[in-house]
Amino acid sequence: MELQLALDLVNIPEAKELVKEVEEYVDIVEIGTPVIINEGLRAVKEIKEAFPHLKVLADLKVMDAAGYEVMKASEAGADIVTILGVAEDMTIKGAVEEARKQQKKILVDMIAVKDIEGRAKELDALGVDYICVHTGYDLQAVGKNSFEDLATIKRVVKHAKTAVAGGIKLETLPEVIKAQPDLVIVGGGITGQEDKKAVAAEMHRLIKQG
């Protein structure tokens, strides 16, 4: 099981500071969608250059023209690129094809997918690398989480790795770990804490002990 640090509400210098603080405890650094909107793929490039030993995920949430967008994110240094599960199959196939060419990985974000079980089976058959259930900020605000959806994808996904994101905190991490996803994605649960290093260290310990 791996830990991904999601950076959403920072600029590039702040992102570097944050990663420096917790780098020994995380496996993947996510350059979040808001950061890419504000700073462009330069954020991916600068973080990869500053921390070459960490994997970098570009949270592009691709919806169309996937081949081109995966190519650009790969050129910037991304190891993993996200695409939306609600995208057309043609778009998913384009992303997978380009990622294979660039020797990168595709993570599908299941945000807003209504039939999690059915779509997860289809995406698994399309050869994506990760399938991630995700409660976005807007549904977190009304008390939702992805625990049930995580159990669903764990049951039906046979080839892809499973991942979970959305409002995970130190207190809820043990419940997530019980479901045994391959990847746990945490943003505010680390970045919004006073002692980020201590929280990341404890999350790392819990995740590695499984």
Report the residue from 27, 33, 144, 161 that binds ligand LJD2ZHX5 according to the rule CB under 6 A: 33
Helix axes 89-102, 66-75, angle to 10 degrees: 30
Residue 6 binding ligand LJD2ZHX5, by CB under 6 A: yes
* Least spacing, CB of residue 33 vs ligand LJD2ZHX5, in Å: 4
* Least spacing, CB of residue 158 vs ligand LJD2ZHX5, in Å: 25
* Least spacing, CB of residue 61 vs ligand LJD2ZHX5, in Å: 7
Six-digit token string for 161: 């790795």
Cβ distance 123 to 160 under 8 Å? yes
The whole-angstrom distance between residue 10's C-alpha and the CA centroid of its chain comes to 17
Residue 168 binding ligand LJD2ZHX5, by CB under 6 A: yes
Residue type present at position 119: R
Report the residue from 188, 197, 201, 204 that binds ligand LJD2ZHX5 according to the rule CB under 6 A: 188
- Quote the CA–CA distance of 117 and 131 in Å, as a whole number: 11
Report the residue from 2, 16, 27, 34 that binds ligand LJD2ZHX5 according to the rule CB under 6 A: 34
Backbone angles phi, psi at 142, to 5 degrees: -110, 25
Pick the closest to residue 128 from 199, 200, 62 (CA basis): 62
Pick the closest to residue 190 from 80, 37, 31, 26 (CA basis): 26
Q: Given the rule CB under 6 A, which of 29-37, 38-46, 47-55, 71-79 is the region that contacts ligand LJD2ZHX5?
A: 29-37
Six-digit token string for 111: 């945000």
* Least spacing, CB of residue 84 vs ligand LJD2ZHX5, in Å: 11
* Least spacing, CB of residue 59 vs ligand LJD2ZHX5, in Å: 6
Residue 132 binding ligand LJD2ZHX5, by CB under 6 A: no
Helix %, strand %, coil % for the chain, to 5?
A: 50, 20, 30
Residue 94 binding ligand LJD2ZHX5, by CB under 6 A: no
Residue 22 binding ligand LJD2ZHX5, by CB under 6 A: no
Cβ distance 164 to 146 under 8 Å? yes
- Binding residues for ligand LJD2ZHX5 (CB under 6 A): 6, 8, 30, 32-34, 59, 136-137, 165-168, 185-189
